[in-house]
Amino acid sequence: MREDKKLITQEYVERLKNSPYFIVVNYEGLKVDQFEELRNRLADCNSEMHVVKNAIFKIAAQETGVEDLGQALAGQLAAVTGEGEITGAAKVLKNFKAEFEKPEWHFGFLDDERLDADQIKTLADLPSLDELRAKLLGTIQAPASKLVRTLVEPGSSLARVVRAKFAEE
């Protein structure tokens, strides 16, 4: 392998090692300004998209422990990686596709588990981790809030009765 290809392979290996996931998309038909817009949107959720050379990407994936990509890499492909959640990147891709009808996602990997396009779509429909935490916290706090209101009510009722009695006099 030529020296420049070794450097590119090493760059791919580093990206894959530093990300808990990657999503492979076909960006064919995207205009340059649309591609940049997609990159900017992905950056907002701590993700990035890089065009990949298919053969070199396959070698890099194998070097990081991904034995079988499950299909031949063909076409104009890019890999989405990031430090954040896969759901954030999947939502951005889904929303962008709804707006521009591209890119097409092929497959992905999350912690060494292969995901097909339907599984990635399902992840895009899930709420973010912060949303789930907020819902859980609300569920946990609801009984405590109700208990506090119940405990305070008799005293509040008594205070209203006393205030009404003194207001009549």
User: Does 159 lie in the same domain as 120?
Assistant: no
Look at residues 91, 98, 121 and name the one whose alpha carbon lies nearest to residue 108. 121
User: Does 27 lie in the same domain as 75?
Assistant: yes
3 state DSSP class of 154:
helix
User: Does 138 lie in the same domain as 103?
Assistant: no
User: Does 120 lie in the same domain as 133?
Assistant: no
| Residue 24 clears pLDDT 70, i.e. is over it | yes
Split at pLDDT 50, 70, 90, the class of 169 is: low
d(CA 89, CA 102): 15
User: Does 136 lie in the same domain as 92?
Assistant: no
The conformation of residue 41, written as its DSSP 8-state character, comes to: H
**Domains in the chain, number:** 2
User: Does 90 lie in the same domain as 133?
Assistant: no
User: Does 13 lie in the same domain as 81?
Assistant: yes
CA angle 52, 16, 45 (to 5 degrees): 90
Please state, rounded to an integer, the average pLDDT across all residues of the chain. 82
Q: Residue 101 has what pLDDT?
A: 84
pLDDT tens string 46-100: 889 888 888 888 878 877 777 676 666 778 888 888 887 888 888 888 998 888 8
Percent of all residues in the chain with a pLDDT value above 70, rounded to a whole number = 96
- What the block records as the tokens of 5 is 């290809």
pLDDT tens string 135-162: 888 888 777 777 777 777 777 777 787 7
Mean pLDDT throughout 12-34?
85
Phi-psi sector, 157: left (phi>0), alpha (psi -120 to 50), beta: alpha
Q: Residue-wise over 126-158: b if at least 16 C-beta within 10 A, else e?
A: eeeeeeeeeeeeeeeeeeeeeeeeeeeeeeeee
Q: Residue 28 has what pLDDT?
A: 86
Domain containing residue 96: CATH number: 3.30.70.1730
Instruction: Provide Rg for the chain, Cα atoms.
Output: 26
pLDDT tens string 97-135: 888 888 888 888 888 788 888 888 888 888 777 787 888
User: Does 92 lie in the same domain as 59?
Assistant: yes
User: Does 101 lie in the same domain as 164?
Assistant: no
The whole-model pTM stands at 0.70
d(CA 73, CA 55): 7
Domain extent for 41: 3-126
Instruction: Quickly tell me which residue has 């990635």 as its tokens.
Output: 120
| Burial (CB count within 10 angstroms: exposed 0-12, middle 13-18, buried 19+), residue 168 | exposed
